[in-house]
Structures are given as C-alpha cells and as structure tokens.
Amino acid sequence: MPSLSDAFRSHPVFLHQKHPDLTSLQELPDSYAWSSSSAATTDNSLQHQHHDATADHRVPVVDLDDPNASSFIGSACKSWGVFQIVNHGIPSALLRDIELAGKALFSLQPAHKLRAARSPDGVSGYGRARISSFFPKLMWSEGFTIVGSPLHHFRQLWPDDYTKYCDTVERYQEAMQKLAGKLMWLLMASLGISKEDLQWAGPRGDFNGASAALQLNSYPTCPDPERAMGLAAHTDSTLLTILHQNNISGLQVFREGTGWMTVPPITGALIVNIGDLFHILSNGLYQSVLHRAVVNRTQQRFSVAYLYGPPGNAKISPHAKLVGPSRPALYRPVTWNEYLGTKAKHFNEALSCVEVCAPKSGGLFDVSETHNSSVQVG
C-alpha cells in the first residue's frame, strides 16, 4: 500500500535550500517582496487588514460537547469551509509542549537546522513550504514536516536531547489522530452518512490506516510585513486539517463576496479546515477553504498543522448518498497519492482537473434530496 512518504517521493518538489536567516534581515529583500510599497494590492491580494468580525462575518466556533455540534459543523462547512473548535479534549499542556518543541526547533542556528533539511524528493524535514515552487516570490516562513517518526531528524538536531521532543510529537500525533476520527464522524453525520456507509473507515469505523503529516510553521517578525507573505493562498489537499496557532494572529481565510478574513486566535481552541479531498467526498457541498498566513513586525508566529487524509489505497469519490438525479457526481474517484500528484502539477487548479462535471450554479444543494438515493459512484 503506498504511504504518504511514497506519494511525496513520487512527486518531488525542487526548492533551492539556501535559506537566509530571516531574523537577521533589517530590510525586505526584493525576492521576498510580493508587492511594491506604492502598489495598490489586489491580486494575491495583500490586503492585510481584516474585515471586522460582525456576527455574520466571524469564523464559527463549535463546542464539541454541544449535542448539536454536528449540525453546526455542517453549516460552517457549507458557508465557510473552516471553523474553530473548543472542548476538543486535547490537553492544554500538550498544545503548549508542541508549541515549545516548534519554538526550540526554529530558534536553532540556520546551519544547525539544515542538518535536518528536507531532501527534494523527501517529505520530512526542515525547509521552505512545498508550495513555494508555484510562486515567483519567496515566503516569509520556515517549516518542518513530520511523517511518521521524527526520530531520525530530531537526533540530528538534538543529539543529546531528542527523546523529549520525539515523545511530544508522538503524543500530539496520537491525540490528533483520535480527534480527526471524531471530527470525520461529526462531518459525516452532518451529511447523513453513517458508519456502514463508509467502507474505507474500517470495520470498526476507526479510520485505521489513515495517513497524516504534521507541519510545524514559523513566521519570524518581518521588517516590512505589508509587502511580505508568510504562506501564500492555497487549499489543503487533505480530508481535513487541524491547526493550532499560538496567540498571534496571521491566518486568513478567503470568503466569496467579503475577501480575506482573519481567524482570530482563541486560547485553547483549534481550527479545522476542510481540505480538497473532503470537498470531493461531499460532492462539492463542503468548501475546501482558501487560506494564507500573513506576517507582522513585532511578534513571531507559530502554527502546527495536522494534515489528515485517507488510507493510501482508499479511493475518495463523491459519496453515493450525495449523488442523485439532480446532482451528478462532480469528481472522479482519486487516491490521496493520485491527488497529490495532480496538486504537485496544477496546484490550485487541481480540483478542476479531477472534475467530471461542472458544478451547477444557483445555490447550495439540499442534502436531504439524495439521502435515500441508491446511485453508486466509482
């Protein structure tokens, strides 16, 4: 069965590894300037101001202990593709520990960090965002990707001290895997899909064999944040992503008709993004949210993304219960590996590459319309 590492290995991204020490720069080098200081900023739209969060313009916050959590999540996914969660069961000490591990890692000297550099066809290790290759300008950030055990790389970074950091990562991965499974069923329930309806979730519905990657991100303080970009606009290729940000804002999501909106940090809350694969599974009902990270002049920002996808051999397709005479399947079945290949080539156009039928215009589709449909897909 192909693993996530195999998937990345077969779709290498070549990034030049030379990485200046961003913390030492007093001025923004041209290679990092996404807009000129006088330019009206429209396209990759560096409007850094966020729209003030009136009730309708606030990323929804869902209490997972609420008996109606599933239906709140459903509404959030239809209109936003992102929501924050509280009462998620992840201990605050674990959130603090993973943040401390990230801080310790990114504060190492540049040459030291490069001991754990990600190889061009590798998935794990230190380096620039994989999406960098799609943009002419560099991003004001550093990342560290972990698939499976970080032992090999952590030994290179902390020869005498790696066990405590490995232990933190392992505990974090375990807790995230459980939470991701729980979120998957809340999402499924909101679409009227039960455990019997999802073969690849396994006989006990525990998503055994699901794949995941952990992405640590650091956004150093920036001398000219209005012209820089921390992480350019993208959607995640995942089913879902669980993001922990420290108490510094920077994550923005794009809303049709409104523009870029900041997702404000809420102490102890986690952010859940719908990824492209869930968009496919939901037959386009749930949005995979376009998001980016902006930077600031005074405070270093950290985030930890748990990128969650299906088992390597699972074909993800619009679920049969969401397909009917009035709503044909919009996408063809794909494995995560195949989809990552499409993304590596076509980036933000990847979803349209697996489309089989243009989405109908004219509003949201009513889930109840097809709950009893027996049409099979894939």
Ligand X SMILES: O=C(O)CCC(=O)C(=O)O
**Could you say which of ligand X, Fe ion, none residue 300 binds, taking C-beta under 5 to 8 angstroms by partner kind?**
none
Nearer to Fe ion, 173 or 288 (CB): 288
Residue 258 · residue 57 · CB < 8 Å: yes
The closest residue (CB) to ligand X is 303
DSSP string, 149-191: --HHHHHHH-TTTHHHHHHHHHHHHHHHHHHHHHHHHHHHHHT
**Could you say which of Fe ion, ligand X, none residue 215 binds, taking C-beta under 5 to 8 angstroms by partner kind?**
ligand X
Task: Please report whether residue 305 would count as binding ligand X according to CB under 6 A.
Answer: yes
Strand stretches in the chain, DSSP E: 61-63, 82-86, 125-127, 142-146, 211-219, 231-234, 240-245, 251-255, 259-262, 270-274, 291-293, 301-309
Task: Please report whether residue 138 would count as binding ligand X according to CB under 6 A.
Answer: no
Nearer to ligand X, 73 or 293 (CB): 293
Amino acid at 157: L
**Could you say which of ligand X, Fe ion, none residue 251 binds, taking C-beta under 5 to 8 angstroms by partner kind?**
ligand X
Distance, CA of 373 to CA of 264 (rounded, Å): 40
Q: Which stretch binds ligand X (CB under 6 A): 40-48, 113-121, 242-250, 347-355?
A: 242-250
Task: Please report whether residue 235 would count as binding ligand X according to CB under 6 A.
Answer: no
Q: Which stretch binds Fe ion (CB under 5 A): 73-81, 124-132, 164-172, 230-238?
A: 230-238
Q: Which two tokens stand for residue 238?
A: 């995942």
**Could you say which of ligand X, Fe ion, none residue 217 binds, taking C-beta under 5 to 8 angstroms by partner kind?**
ligand X
State the number of binding residues for ligand X (CB under 6 A): 12
Task: Please report whether residue 236 would count as binding Fe ion according to CB under 5 A.
Answer: yes
Cβ count within 10 A of residue 212: 20
Task: Please report whether residue 251 would count as binding ligand X according to CB under 6 A.
Answer: yes
| Residue 31, beta-bridge partner list | none
Q: Residues 227, 301, 327, 332: which is the catalytic one?
A: 301
Question: Interaction with ligand X in 263-302: which residues (CB under 6 A)?
Answer: 291, 293
Task: Please report whether residue 231 would count as binding ligand X according to CB under 6 A.
Answer: yes
Active site residue 227: no
Distance, CA of 266 to CA of 61 (rounded, Å): 10
- Binding residue for ligand X (CB under 6 A) from 35, 173, 235, 245? 245
Residue 252 · residue 294 · CB < 8 Å: yes
Cβ density class 241-256: b for 16+ within 10 Å, e for less: bbbbbbebbbbbbbbe
Q: Which stretch binds ligand X (CB under 6 A): 32-40, 118-126, 243-251, 282-290?
A: 243-251
Cβ density class 337-358: b for 16+ within 10 Å, e for less: bbbbbbbbeebeebbeebeeee
Task: Please report whether residue 97 would count as binding ligand X according to CB under 6 A.
Answer: no
The residues annotated as belonging to the active site are 301
Could you list the residues that contact ligand X (CB under 6 A)?
215, 217, 231, 236, 243, 245, 250-251, 291, 293, 303, 305
